[in-house]
C-alpha cells in the first residue's frame, strides 16, 4: 500500500524537482526584462548621485561668471555656497516627491507604464541642464536637478515593485537584487564618466550632466518589448489572458503554472479589496509589524554611517599618501567595491537567505565602526594606521553592499501583499529620501561636534537594527507573499493571546 502511494506521487515529485532545477537560473526574457526596467530605474538614482561630484568647481565657476555678467560683481562666497548646496540637495526633495507619487502611478498606469512615463522627467532634466550654459541661466540647473530627483524617486519606488512581481518565488531575492546592482552600477558609471579622461574636463560639464537622458532613452527603446507585471494584470486588472501571456513570456510555458496558482490564491483573498492608500496602512493592525519593519530598515539604510564613510574617504586616501589628482581613481575603487559586493549578494541571497545577509552586514558594519573610530583617533601614532583606516573604508562599503544595501529593497516587496505593496513602497521611499535629506543636513554638524567619534552614533544604530531583525523579522526565502503575510499574522495573534492570557486567568478565578 505504501509502495503504491509512493508510485502515485512520484511523477508529481519529479515535476516539482524539474521545476526547481529550471528556476536555478532565470529565463532569458525575464533577465532582459529586469535589465530594461533597471536601466531607467534605480540606475538613474545611483548615476545622478555620483555624477554631480565631478563638475563641482566647473559649475561654481559658471555661477560666478553668470553672476558677474548680471550684477557686475563677484558672487559673495555665502551666496555661491547656498546656490551650489541647493543644486545638490534639491535632488533629495525631488526624490521625496517622486517616491510620494510613484505608488499612485504604479496603480493607475501599471508598473511598466509608470516606468515608461517616468523617463519624461529624465529627458526634460537633461535638456534643462544642457541648456543652462548656453543660455547663461544657472536656475535651469536647479530645476533640472529637481526633475532628476523626481525621476529617481519614482524609479526607486516602482522598479523594485516590478521586479518583485515578475520574478518566480524561487528567484525573487536574486532578481530583486537587480535594484542594488544597478544602483551601485550607476554610481560606478557616474564616477568613471566624471574622470578627466572622459567628461570630467571643465568645458564638458553641460554634456556630462545631460547624459542622464541616455538611460531614459535606452529604457524607452527596450522596456516596451516586455510585458506588464503578471500580478498587476491578474489581481488589479482581472486580465486572465494578459497574465497568462506575460507568465509564458517571462517564465516559459513549463514554469508558469505554480506561479499562476499562487496569484489565484492571492486574487481570491483580495477580491473586492481596493489598493490601499498609504495612510490606510497605519490604521491596519494586521500590517503593523511589517510597516514598523520597513520604516526602521529604510531609515537605517541612510543613518547607518555609509554617508560618513564616503565623507571621510578622501581624507583617509590623502593620509595614506595618495596624491590629490589620483583620489578620484581611488573613489572609483570604492564604487567598484560596492558594485562587486552587490553582485556577490545576488548570488548568495537564495542560498543563505535574507535574514543571514542583513544581520551579517549590519554586524560587520558595527565592527568596522569601532575599528574606524580607533584608527582615526590614533592616525598619527604609526605610518601603518592610515592604511588600516583605508581597509576599514573598503570593509564598511563591502559590508553595506552585502546586507543593508541589497536586502532592504527586497523586504519592501516581500512583506506586503498586492493591495498594500504600492502604498508600502510610497512610505518606504518617502522615509528613505527624508532620511537621506536629514543626514545630509545634520551630518556636517555631527562631524564638527563629534569628529571621528560620530561613528559611535552609527554603531548604536547598527546594533539596534541587528537586535530588531533577530527578534521580529522572519526569513522570507522561498516563501510566497501570502505565507509571509500569514507568518506576521500569527506573530500578532501570539502577542495578542499572551496579552490576554493573564486577563483570562483572572476572569476564570472564583470571586
Contact status, residue 366 vs residue 463, Cβ threshold 8 Å: yes
pLDDT at 500 exceeding the cut of 70: no
Contact status, residue 489 vs residue 269, Cβ threshold 8 Å: no
Nearest to 247 by CA among 261, 232, 257: 257
pLDDT digits (tens, 9 = 90+) for 187-211: 899 989 988 888 888 889 999 999 9
Most confidently modeled range among 49-53, 251-255, 439-443: 49-53
- The mean pLDDT value for 158-173 works out to 86
What φ, ψ does residue 227 adopt, rounded to 5°? -80, 165
Report the range of poorest mean pLDDT among 297-306, 443-452, 470-479: 443-452
Max Cα-Cα span within the chain? 99
pLDDT digits (tens, 9 = 90+) for 318-336: 766 778 777 788 888 888 8
- The mean pLDDT value for 69-97 works out to 87
Establish how many alpha carbons lie within 13 A of residue 75's alpha carbon, considering only the half-sphere containing its beta carbon.
Answer: 20
Report the range of poorest mean pLDDT among 71-80, 145-154, 248-257, 350-359: 248-257
What's the mean per-residue pLDDT of the chain? 83
Cell readout for 10 is 512520484
- The mean pLDDT value for 386-412 works out to 85
272: DSSP letter: T
pLDDT for position 476? 87
- The mean pLDDT value for 394-400 works out to 88
- The mean pLDDT value for 216-238 works out to 92
In whole angstroms, give the CA distance from residue 77 to residue 246: 57
Res. 497 pLDDT band, cuts 50 70 90 = low
Res. 492 pLDDT band, cuts 50 70 90 = low
pTM of the predicted model, to two decimals?
A: 0.83
pLDDT for position 5? 40
pLDDT at 364 exceeding the cut of 90: yes
Res. 213 pLDDT band, cuts 50 70 90 = very high
Full DSSP string of 21-63? HHTTS--HHHHHHHHHHHHTTHHHHHHHHHTTTTTHHHHHHHH
Full DSSP string of 123-142? HHHHHHHHHHHHHT-THHHH
pLDDT for position 501? 52
223: DSSP letter: G
Res. 75 pLDDT band, cuts 50 70 90 = confident
pLDDT for position 55? 87
In whole angstroms, give the CA distance from residue 256 to residue 245: 10
Res. 493 pLDDT band, cuts 50 70 90 = low
Res. 287 pLDDT band, cuts 50 70 90 = confident
In whole angstroms, give the CA distance from residue 479 to residue 289: 18
Assigned fold of 279-491:
Growth Hormone; Chain: A; (1.20.1250)
Report the range of poorest mean pLDDT among 11-20, 100-109, 119-128: 11-20
Res. 311 pLDDT band, cuts 50 70 90 = low
Residues of the chain with CATH 1.20.1250.20: 27-272, 279-491
In degrees, to the nearest 5, what angle opens at C-alpha 49 toward C-alphas 47 and 52? 95
SS3 string of 279-343?
A: HHHHHCHHHHHHHHHHHHHHHHHHHCCHHHHHHHHHHHHHHCCCCHHHHHHHHHHHHHHHHHHHH
Res. 294 pLDDT band, cuts 50 70 90 = very high
More confident residue, 418 or 361: 361
pLDDT at 228 exceeding the cut of 70: yes
Res. 109 pLDDT band, cuts 50 70 90 = very high
Q: Percent of the chain scored above 70 by pLDDT? A: 89
In whole angstroms, give the CA distance from residue 183 to residue 396: 17
pLDDT at 23 exceeding the cut of 60: no
For helices 404-414 and 139-166, give the axis angle rounded to 10 degrees. Answer: 60
pLDDT for position 490? 77
In whole angstroms, give the CA distance from residue 152 to residue 174: 22
- What DSSP element (H or E) covers 189? helix 178-193
Res. 509 pLDDT band, cuts 50 70 90 = very low
pLDDT at 16 exceeding the cut of 60: no
More confident residue, 335 or 442: 335
More confident residue, 334 or 494: 334
CATH code assigned to 27-272:
1.20.1250.20
Report the range of poorest mean pLDDT among 178-192, 264-278, 356-370, 422-436: 264-278
Amino acid at each position: 500500500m505504501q509502495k503504491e502511494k509512493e508510485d502515485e506521487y512520484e511523477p508529481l515529485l519529479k515535476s516539482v524537482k524539474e521545476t526547481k532545477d529550471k528556476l536555478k537560473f532565470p529565463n532569458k526574457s525575464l533577465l532582459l526584462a529586469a535589465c530594461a526596467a533597471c536601466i531607467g530605474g534605480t540606475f538613474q538614482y545611483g548615476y545622478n548621485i555620483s555624477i554631480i561630484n565631478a563638475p563641482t568647481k566647473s559649475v561654481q565657476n559658471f555661477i560666478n561668471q553668470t553672476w558677474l555678467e548680471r550684477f557686475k560683481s563677484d558672487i559673495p562666497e555665502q551666496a555661491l555656497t547656498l546656490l551650489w548646496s541647493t543644486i545638490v540637495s534639491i535632488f533629495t526633495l525631488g526624490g521625496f516627491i517622486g517616491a510620494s507619487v510613484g505608488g499612485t502611478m504604479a496603480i493607475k498606469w501599471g508598473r511598466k507604464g509608470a516606468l515608461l512615463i517616468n523617463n519624461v522627467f529624465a529627458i526634460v532634466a537633461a535638456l534643462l541642464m544642457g541648456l543652462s550654459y548656453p543660455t547663461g541661466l544657472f536656475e535651469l540647473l536647479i530645476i533640472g536637478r529637481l526633475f532628476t530627483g523626481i525621476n529617481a524617486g519614482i524609479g526607486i519606488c516602482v522598479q523594485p515593485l516590478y521586479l518583485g512581481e515578475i520574478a518566480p518565488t524561487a528567484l525573487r531575492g536574486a532578481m530583486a537584487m537587480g535594484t542594488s546592482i544597478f544602483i551601485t552600477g550607476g554610481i560606478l558609471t557616474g564616477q568613471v564618466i566624471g574622470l578627466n579622461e572622459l567628461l570630467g574636463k571643465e568645458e564638458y560639464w553641460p554634456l556630462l550632466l545631460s547624459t542622464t537622458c541616455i538611460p531614459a532613452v535606452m529604457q524607452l527603446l527596450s522596456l516596451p518589448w516586455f510585458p506588464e507585471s503578471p500580478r498587476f494584470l491578474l489581481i488589479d486588472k482581472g486580465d486572465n489572458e494578459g497574465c497568462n501571456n506575460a507568465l509564458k513570456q517571462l517564465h516559459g510555458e513549463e514554469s508558469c503554472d505554480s506561479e499562476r496558482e499562487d496569484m489565484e490564491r492571492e486574487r481570491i483573498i483580495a477580491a473586492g479589496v481596493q489598493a490601499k492608500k498609504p495612510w490606510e496602512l497605519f490604521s491596519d493592525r494586521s500590517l503593523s509589524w511589517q510597516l514598523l519593519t520597513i520604516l526602521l530598515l529604510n531609515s537605517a539604510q541612510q543613518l547607518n554611517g555609509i554617508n560618513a564613510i564616503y565623507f571621510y574617504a578622501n581624507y583617509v586616501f590623502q593620509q595614506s599618501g595618495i596624491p590629490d589628482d589620483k583620489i578620484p581613481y581611488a573613489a572609483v575603487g570604492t564604487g567598484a567595491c560596492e558594485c562587486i559586493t552587490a553582485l556577490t549578494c545576488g548570488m548568495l541571497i537564495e542560498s543563505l537567505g535574507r535574514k543571514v545577509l542583513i544581520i551579517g552586514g549590519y554586524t560587520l558594519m558595527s565592527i568596522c565602526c569601532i575599528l574606524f573610530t580607533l584608527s582615526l583617533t590614533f592616525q598619527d601614532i604609526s605610518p601603518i594606521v592610515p592604511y588600516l583606516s583605508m581597509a576599514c573604508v573598503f570593509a564598511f562599503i563591502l559590508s553595506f553592499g552585502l546586507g543593508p544595501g541589497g536586502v532592504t529593497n527586497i523586504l519592501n516587496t516581500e512583506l506586503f501583499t498586492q493591495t498594500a505593496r504600492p502604498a508600502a513602497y510610497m512610505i518606504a521611499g518617502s522615509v528613505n529620501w527624508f532620511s537621506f535629506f536629514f543626514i545630509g543636513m545634520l551630518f556636517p554638524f555631527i562631524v564638527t561636534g563629534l569628529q571621528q567619534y560620530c561613528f559611535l552614533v552609527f554603531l548604536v544604530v547598527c546594533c539596534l537594527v541587528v537586535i530588531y531583525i533577530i527578534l521580529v523579522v522572519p526569513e522570507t526565502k522561498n516563501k510566497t507573499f501570502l505565507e509571509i503575510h500569514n507568518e506576521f499574522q500569527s506573530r500578532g495573534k501570539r502577542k495578542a493571546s499572551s496579552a490576554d492570557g493573564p486577563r483570562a486567568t483572572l476572569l476564570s478565578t472564583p470571586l
